[in-house]
Structure 1
């Protein structure tokens, strides 16, 4: 149950500035469905290894790989927008940043219009009358993408744009909500929204729900009586009109006779003892991962950062001083951050040397990595110890033998939960649906980070904004988060939060082979089994 009152909204009718806190501003700790993973794990029976699963409930032996390694490649799905090396950051000018954001908005609107037209062409008779009218309006009427925000009108009109909150003390203040227009519609187009009609509505079958966050692209119906603000009557849920853009070709790895096995483990990978101390040479979790690989021999292992978290700086300084006192041959900070990182990876590889473990190891960096530049998107890590270990950027959509897999270590779900406001009645929704809704934002915007402006702790590099966009819909999307572990099927994409290795959680995925290429229709959800399990059991 969510703690906010769904029958009222603390937005003044005249959209006046206020210092009061919005009743609809949802904090991370407000909802019971946003349990931190350590609390969530307490609900799992001691004798069970599986925390949760989706698909078929498989026997543990079915996760063991017995076949010879197949020939498959791992690379970026879209080489044109991939980040393969370090780049000059904080280099984009304000004009360039605005231009990149505007291009994304205009392309998204055009794609929505084209998608509505395709629905009309393909299955007009199978769409309900209310949706069909909206689709026709969006497909045929250009007014909704060309109407100036400040033109007076008493007739309900469609408007499209990006949600903005008023900024106060460098933070978004949801007391005043604006709609920002694409520059092609109105170069100075930003106008306050009047949501008073939602404030006064009663809870009945026609109860209009909405959820907003800064950066969200919306289509709405409203009137502009004065030319100074839009009186909103309805937000159009256009997610159902956007078709997923899955890869067209059937994945090669699913045309073989054996299933394909993937494991995802999210850092940090250092163990904290009972005294809240950290030994930076401790390999407890890497040893546990190595033991899992020896037993199950998966095809691919994803290690998602941070490997050494920024918050561990004071612990590292304390640990370095203690090492210096115990060993006179050491000099201060001999174990620099690069050496500590490579030490962990080298240990994992050494544990597997000479064994029949054929797992490919893939690293995804984090902007919270201690000693690395806090920038997003982030370039791949430099791995000096093993050629068999490869690294990709954060975020990435990878082509793994034809399977499109998206991954990010940036906690977009937590950031969205801090900024989202809504009037959704919690009594009409199941527990956990808010986290699912946050995942839907990422997929529906086709953007790994739709929040604008970004979280205060994140340095978004607008010159690389294209690297955040999903030009194709991933079959599997891994969103690493401090929120509780989950598995969702959202419009054919399997969305996973594996939990944290430090909380004894990893995710494992089996993709079942197809009997024929004709079975492939885009989504792989019916051929995918996922489990989130205890690493040490």
Structure 2
């Protein structure tokens, strides 16, 4: 049979490097998988084309990868014949054989005193631990990737702990309290109520047919709503036309724009007012009298100032946020507002305590050197031990920027990858963790298996018996869990505004927190994407549910994943009795290059003053 295999390779134009070893392994493959030499060579041709190998030489170094390819072929053939059959992999076998009760032991962490505090530093060579999260596809157990060689698994990078400290002066009961705490942490989490705000487009919608009229109406409505809200607050005069020459102070509302294609500078700032007040004309804006400001293209602002010549509005005051007492949704009929909220499921009790525990992670969920999704497996194992009420996963899941996806070196469709590598793992996790755990999936415009449009419809997920646990959310999207309002957007708006922003810091030397300032723009503008014109890689479609980009009320938690450094900020808006606080979280990316990234863990108990939040490196 070895001679037959050799002849078949030659017929197909392949030469053998280390012939004896290659033929010996190929013979083993034929025997183990009941293959004819011609079938084996056909499979090699598929593997050769998928891996984009340069030379037509069969090398011994490629045999391990070829074996994995054969295993996947055999597994897919069996699954097609019996779709409900579960295929056990070497991961599952290792988990069963190496199960040890010590794997479930965990030290109860207290308040971190150092940013580099280690929660877990297991070596990768220790027996694999899946904690019930077995999955049917993955890397061979003997293959150690750069991600697997890391020494520290879970390290607290940043922590906010504003929970009250309960002192215990009775030293005799310390040990007993510790045991009680361990038992308490091991109990299943209490199921949270969930309400999803359906504001975005529906799955299967028709997109990228927006017209100039749609763009004009969307921008005009933003300017008009801000103008009405600012006037309704009673703090400002009725807006006037900023393009008309006047010797007295006026108040105008308009959109910041640039007079060219470059970035904003002091000589290129323009203010475009609404059609109602100025016919849509714009005027040059001069800000040299302001001690501090922060502006970007697309920002809606109120300007107090003078325009003595009719060609330049000289600002004496800039208002970049709407007072909390003023409503921005001035055109929505009350019955329409109620129809926007769809209750997915809520608890039976009449009163729900405003508390939530959550893990928040943003893709990519696999490293750039493979598609094994090791970071996601580690995250689910961590979630299996902590058992939070909510697991919020934000795309990309099948990243279109991944090297193997970009060059087409994947032997499965993107939908198959998503179902087999993402949904199957999540299905295993919720079955292990119990019916009280909820998972929220938010898509990204970088998802290769989903619609490339923004705003983006939710994933069309059909998992029997698990639809009440795994929920798809639009991008951007808003949901309420235990009456805690959470807003999410996977477009990297923070990075994009950072590249277009022009600011002047106060002259008194007051330190300026740049990340808080960028996050504040989203809340102040009441929009998940206030930037205009949009970034080149954002397929913004104004014909698709423009209300999806609008933030009707300030959320308790705002999640904005970004390539910029991870952070957690408590944003303060308004003054006095109207003051509101919002927690803004950038969990970072779960995978960065060939190594692990970060995710966020949050224990929220009613307000930012009562919470424990951490950014954890994986």
Q: What TM-score do the two structures reach when normalised by structure 2?
A: 0.62
Does the C-alpha gap of structure 1 residues 237 and 187 become closer, same or farther in structure 2, counting only changes over 3 Å?
closer
The corresponding residue for 1:412 is 493
Contact 1:303–1:362 under 8 Å retained in 2: yes
List runs of 5+ in structure 2 lacking aligned partners.
1-113, 120-154, 166-177, 329-336, 338-345, 573-580
Asked if 2 retains the 8 angstrom alpha-carbon contact of 1:158 and 1:222, the reply is yes
Considering only CA atoms, is the larger Rg found in Structure 1 or Structure 2?
2
Show CA shifts across 1:322-377 (max 9, x none): xxxxxxxxxxx541111111122212322553454742111000012224332111
Query: Which residue in 2 is equivalent to 1:531?
Result: 614
The answer for the alignment partner of 1:178 in structure 2 is: 270
| Correspondence for 2:159 | 53
The unaligned stretches of length 5 or more in structure 1 are 1-42, 118-134, 199-207, 321-332, 514-523
Match of 1:494 in 2: 583
2:416 matched residue in structure 1: 339
Partner of 1:30: none
TM-score (normalizing by structure 1): 0.71
Work out whether 1:315 is the aligned partner of 2:404: yes
Residue 377 of structure 2 corresponds to residue 377 of structure 1 = no
Whole-angstrom distance in 1 between the partners of 2:605 and 2:555: 17
* 1:266 aligned partner: 362
How many Å apart are 1:530 and its aligned residue?
A: 1.6
Q: In the superposition, relative to structure 1, how do residues 222 and 62 fare at CA in structure 2: closer, same or farther (>3 Å)?
A: farther
1:178 Cα deviation after fit: 0.7
Distance 1:156 1:418 in 2: 33
Aligned residue number for residue 231 of structure 2 = 113
Quickly say closer, same or farther: Cα 1:382–1:468, change in 2 above 3 A.
same
Retained in 2: the 8 A contact 1:290–1:352? no
1:528 Cα deviation after fit: 3.0
How many angstroms apart in 2 are the aligned matches of 1:485 and 1:51?
A: 9
How do 1:138-537 and structure 2 match up within 5 A? Answer: 138=236, 141-142=237-238, 145=239, 147-168=240-261, 171-174=262-265, 175-197=267-289, 208-236=291-319, 238=321, 260-272=356-368, 277=369, 279-280=370-371, 282-312=372-402, 314-316=403-405, 320=409, 333-345=410-422, 346-351=424-429, 353-356=431-434, 358-384=436-462, 387=467, 388-425=469-506, 428-430=509-511, 433-463=513-543, 464-491=545-572, 492-502=581-591, 503-512=596-605, 524-535=607-618
In structure 2, relative to structure 1, the CA distance for the partners of 1:381 and 1:352 (3 Å cut) is closer
SS for the counterpart of 2:570 is: strand
> Residues of 2 paired with 1:271 and 1:508: CA distance?
21
**Partner Cα separation in structure 2 for residue 285 and residue 228 of structure 1:** 57
Cα distance between partner residues in 2 of 1:188 and 1:182: 5
Larger RCO (alpha carbons 8 Å, 6+ apart): 1
Distance in 2 of aligned mates of 1:254 and 1:439: 34
- Partner deviation per Cα, 1:152-186 (whole Å, 9 max, x = no partner): 11222222211011232xx5554411101111111
Number of residue pairs matched by the alignment: 423
Range 257-266 or range 86-95, more displaced: 257-266
Q: Secondary structure at the match of 1:446?
A: coil
- Counterpart CA distance in 2 for 1:111 and 1:225 is 27
Distance 1:86 1:210, change over 3 A: same
Q: Distance in 2 between matches of 1:46 and 1:457?
A: 38
Pair 289,254 (structure 1): closer, same or farther in 2 beyond 3 Å? farther
